[in-house]
């Protein structure tokens, strides 16, 4: 590879979107500056914040935990801790999540589908096969996992819930929302209800391959396997399209992110003027948040015959 454009050391990465080659030191500096800027601009971290990090053990969530823990020294009276959801999928293990929490001295809480819902994800998927129109695995998993993360983060006193979503994830989500005509999802997450723990995504401006390199450079042990069900999802199809766009037109991901960020406030304004669309209710069965009368989790449990 070439030498670093900033200091002439040997480079470890070429950023095609900016035409820069960087050495390890200059790359780490750029990466951390970018994350700090994202956090500052979006007010993701304030003094007194108790931040729960959704820790799967993959590279993204490990890097988020590592960076937030490091940053927490700058915010008086703040706390960073980790929540892991054990969906009960074959071959998943949480040793890596446990070990990073030990290393960083972070409190770690694990909650399982089995204990909280009485069934594992594998069992949920087995039951869903009896339905007329079963949804793809990731949508069941997502509904149950997000429900549990919000509920447990709140019960543990979190003021924010941090997830590892990187630039590629944000771009995929945006494209999926567009294709499905589901624009209200661009404003989801601004609900001010006391039962809702606001989400933060410190890596939203970091391309996936850069998160991976950052984890490698710090020797952070990460779980290399993504979920076995992911390949079957709509997201993975969209991901391939986004990758090929980026390949042919470097910088596409950042351009899509800019569109998302411009669209957000416009959509918010339009939805806020329409009170009915922004209304949040309490599920009449479990008391958690819903836009209707029964939340998605309770609805699915009834549908699938899970007590
Ligand atoms: Zn350099
Ligand atoms: Zn419910």
69-101: pLDDT as tens digits = 999 999 999 999 999 999 887 666 789 999 999
Residue 213's nearest CA partner among 54, 4, 1, 15 is: 15
**Verdict on whether the full-model pTM lies above 0.85:** yes
- Return the ligand number nearest the Cα of 290: 2
pLDDT digits (tens, 9 = 90+) for 196-210: 999 999 999 999 999
Name residue, tokens 């006193």. 157
What was the pLDDT predicted at 269? 82
Question: What's the confidence (pLDDT) of residue 127?
Answer: 87
Q: Is residue 36 part of a domain?
A: no
**Ligand at shortest distance from the CA of 29:** 1
Give me the half-sphere count of Cα atoms (radius 13 Å) on the Cβ side of residue 14: 6
Q: Which helix (H) or strand (E) holds 81?
A: strand 79-86
- The boundaries of the domain holding residue 108 are 42-273
The residue whose two tokens read 């020294």 is 73
When divided into structural domains, the chain yields a total of 2
| 29 C-alpha to ligand 1 centroid (Å) | 9
- pLDDT per residue as tens digits for the range 117-170: 999 988 888 888 888 888 887 788 889 999 999 999 999 999 999 999 999 999
pLDDT of residue 102: 97
Q: How confident is the model at residue 23 (pLDDT cuts 50, 70, 90)?
A: very high
Residue 217 falls inside a structural domain:
yes
Ligand nearest to the CA of 300: 2
Query: How close is the Cα of 228 to the center of ligand 2, in Å?
Result: 27
pLDDT of residue 280: 81
Residue 271 CA to ligand 1 center (angstroms) comes to 46
**What's the confidence (pLDDT) of residue 93?**
73
The answer to whether residues 59 and 208 belong to one domain is yes
Kindly state whether residue 194 falls inside one of the protein's structural domains.
yes
The pair phi, psi for residue 289, each rounded to 5°, is -70, 145
């Amino acid at each position: 590879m070439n030498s670093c454009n900033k200091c002439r050391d040997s480079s470890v990465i070429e950023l095609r979107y900016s035409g820069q080659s960087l050495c390890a030191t200059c790359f780490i500096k750029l990466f951390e500056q970018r994350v700090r800027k994202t956090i500052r601009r979006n007010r993701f971290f304030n003094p007194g914040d108790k931040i729960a990090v959704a820790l799967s053990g993959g590279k993204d969530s490990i890097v988020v935990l590592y960076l937030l823990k490091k940053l927490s020294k700058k915010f008086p009276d703040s706390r960073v801790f980790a929540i892991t959801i054990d969906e009960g999928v074959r071959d998943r293990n949480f040793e890596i999540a446990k070990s990073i929490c030990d290393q960083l001295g972070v409190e770690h809480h694990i909650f399982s589908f089995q204990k909280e819902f009485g069934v594992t994800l594998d069992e949920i998927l087995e039951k869903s096969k009896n339905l007329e129109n079963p949804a793809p695995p990731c949508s069941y998993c997502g509904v149950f996992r997000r429900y549990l993360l919000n509920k447990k983060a709140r019960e543990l006193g979190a003021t924010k819930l941090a997830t590892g979503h990187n630039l590629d994830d944000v771009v995929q989500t945006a494209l999926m929302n567009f294709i499905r005509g589901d624009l209200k999802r661009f404003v989801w997450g601004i609900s001010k209800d006391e039962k809702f723990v606001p989400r933060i995504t410190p890596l939203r401006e970091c391309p996936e391959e850069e998160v991976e390199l950052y984890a490698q450079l710090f020797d952070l042990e990460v779980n290399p396997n993504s979920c076995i069900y992911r390949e079957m999802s709509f997201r993975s199809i969209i991901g391939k399209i986004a990758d090929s766009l980026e390949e042919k037109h470097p910088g596409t991901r950042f351009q899509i992110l800019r569109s998302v960020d411009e669209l957000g406030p416009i959509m918010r304004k339009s939805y806020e003027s329409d009170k009915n669309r922004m209304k949040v209710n309490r599920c009449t069965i479990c008391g958690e948040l819903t836009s209707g009368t029964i939340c998605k989790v309770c609805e699915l449990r009834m549908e699938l015959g899970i007590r």
